[in-house]
Structure 1
Amino acid sequence: MARRTGLPAVEVLDACESTNDEALRRARAGAPHGAAVAAVRQTLGRGRRGHVWVSPPGGLYLSVVLRPGVARECLRAVPVAAGLGALDACRALGAKAPRLKWPNDIVVLGPDGVRKLGGILVELCLGQRSAGAAGDAAVCGIGVNLTRPRGDGIRPKAVRDGMPAPLPAAYLDECGAPAAAGDYAAAATLFRDAIVRRVDAWAAGLWKDASAAPLAPVLEEYRSSLLGLGGTVLAVTPEGTVVGQGTFLSVDGTGRAVLALAGGGTLSLAPEQASLRPLAR
């Protein structure tokens, strides 16, 4: 698969501390666009805001070096483009109706509510300003639950991601994608290729219109993929404080979520400020 796409083969490790750390080291050493490292197990995996991501065998842990060649301020849209790529990969494996939850979760909606399939963490590796966009890289780390592990699961109750309560886990092989865990390297390559394709398409859209907002080339499709849009949500800070409840109106061109508050007015939140939890209707 890597030869057909012209991308380097995904490097698969038995274990490492963090695939993002591995990919960041490679990015600093000049690894090309699409270079990727995956691990069967991480010992110091992390999610957004520095939270622990417990990573036993049973999940896909993958980090991709991305060099989209766009203005630095536009890199904030990389998680969105990568998230759409992750959905493409989940669907290609046969997963039924995967969705995105603002800002960075891959979820499914089942009869018992929202369950989390995976998460995305993008970290920047910035070059010298004089080098321009060509010197900048983003490392996209993704953790996806392929199959239910033995014991306590991939994401224990202690890991809350800033929410009042954690989302229960979902697994690809239980969501209509039984082949997901059959060939680890093939699954890693599938996700890498899908992420790179989406990032490349997003970047091409920005090259056509340099004045466009960072999310503009993918905004319509991103909105249509979001779970909870138009519904009632809680906005929760990284410390776990609820800062608002209202209708999830939209996401703007910079990636900020816009809520119509229950008491009147609106609230605009950047991804680093809060997460959203859909409330049952």
Structure 2
Amino acid sequence: MADFSLGPKARAAGYRLAGFDEIGSTNSEALAAVAAGDPGGIWFAALKQTAGRGRRGRAWESPSGNLAASLLIVPDAEPSILATLGFVAGVAMQNAFARVLPNGAVRIGIDGADTLDGSGRVALKWPNDVLADGAKVAGILLEMGKTPQGRNAIVIGIGVNVIAAPSGLPYPATSLLDLGYEHKAEDVFEALAEAWVDAFSLWSDGSGIKQVLAQWRASAAGIGSPVAVAQDGVVRRGIFETIDASGRLVMRDDDGARIVITAGDVHFGATASARS
């Protein structure tokens, strides 16, 4: 039986929780809740998803024992500002792992996916992944909804590979168990919900996005390394320079041209350097 709970910081901030052993999709549950009039500030957490999804409608495997969690909120911000909540979630997830994993537990990322100064253990991969040892250990999916009154709502979905990682992916993936650490999904969730309170407070309805992005960059994977970004069948290659003030990826191609990327699939290191 699932035993999800909120920590003292999340409870004090007024968050609520609905926990499940198994569910189709925590994001779908959250979207249904806002359509039914839920005011937001509620987490939906499950040990197993049977119909989970990732970016661009891709399936997201979540066997029993992994964590699927979605937060429904109705903040006072425009859709363009709400989109930056993915960076808030990344910062919260990185801080949650810092609480869950012992210091030094995860090696520096491989294949160019470490931080610029080489100090990274858990790294944030643009736009919405979390890496450990250079492999994906968690993913983030934002979906918009509307309240019955027409207000913008957003669901922040987070999947964490606690006991198992999906196979057959075009990129490396890992789990906390693969890394040698046995944790319950419930413990990871409580750490995440606590870390979210601080990151969301820093965001402050979008007025603190500069500070959030600064924290995100400090744990970013691949800055200063070769990067390849695939967009609708076209691959752009260059050096990953930074994330700009709007959260877009900035790269410099071989001719020295500055390219700003709004969306795409990112690959680092040897994969990025390969020529098709």
Q: TM-score range by the shorter chain?
A: 0.7 to 0.9
The residue that corresponds to 1:170 in the other structure is: 174
1:146-194 CA-to-partner distances (Å, cap 9, x unmatched) read 113xxxxx4231x5xxxxxx2222112344643x22xx33432321232
Contact 1:83 1:195 in 2 (8 A): no
| Equivalent pairs, count | 247
The residue that corresponds to 2:213 in the other structure is: 219
By how many angstroms is 1:205 displaced?
6.3
Structure 2 vs 1, CA of residues 31 and 217 (structure 1 numbering), >3 Å: closer, same or farther?
Answer: farther
Q: Which runs of 5+ in 1 are unaligned?
A: 149-153, 160-165, 208-214
1:105-162 CA-to-partner distances (Å, cap 9, x unmatched) read 00023xxxx211010001111348x86xxx32211101101113xxxxx4231x5xxx
1:53-76 CA-to-partner distances (Å, cap 9, x unmatched) read 112113101111123323332111
> In angstroms, what is the RMSD of aligned CA positions?
2.3
The residue that corresponds to 1:156 in the other structure is: 167
Using structure 2 for the length normalisation, give the TM-score.
0.81
1:104 counterpart (102, 123, 128):
128
In 2, the alpha carbon distance for the partners of 1:167 and 1:192 equals 28
In 2, the alpha carbon distance for the partners of 1:265 and 1:122 equals 31
1:69 aligns with 2:76: yes
1:61-94 CA-to-partner distances (Å, cap 9, x unmatched) read 1111123323332111000011100111111101
SS in 2 for 1:262: coil
SS in 1 for 2:217: helix
1:186-227 CA-to-partner distances (Å, cap 9, x unmatched) read 4323212322431222126617xxxxxxx3231211111110
Structure 2 vs 1, CA of residues 126 and 254 (structure 1 numbering), >3 Å: closer, same or farther?
Answer: farther
Q: Give the letter for the 2:261 counterpart.
A: L
In 1, the alpha carbon distance for the partners of 2:7 and 2:247 equals 34
Structure 2 vs 1, CA of residues 2 and 39 (structure 1 numbering), >3 Å: closer, same or farther?
Answer: closer
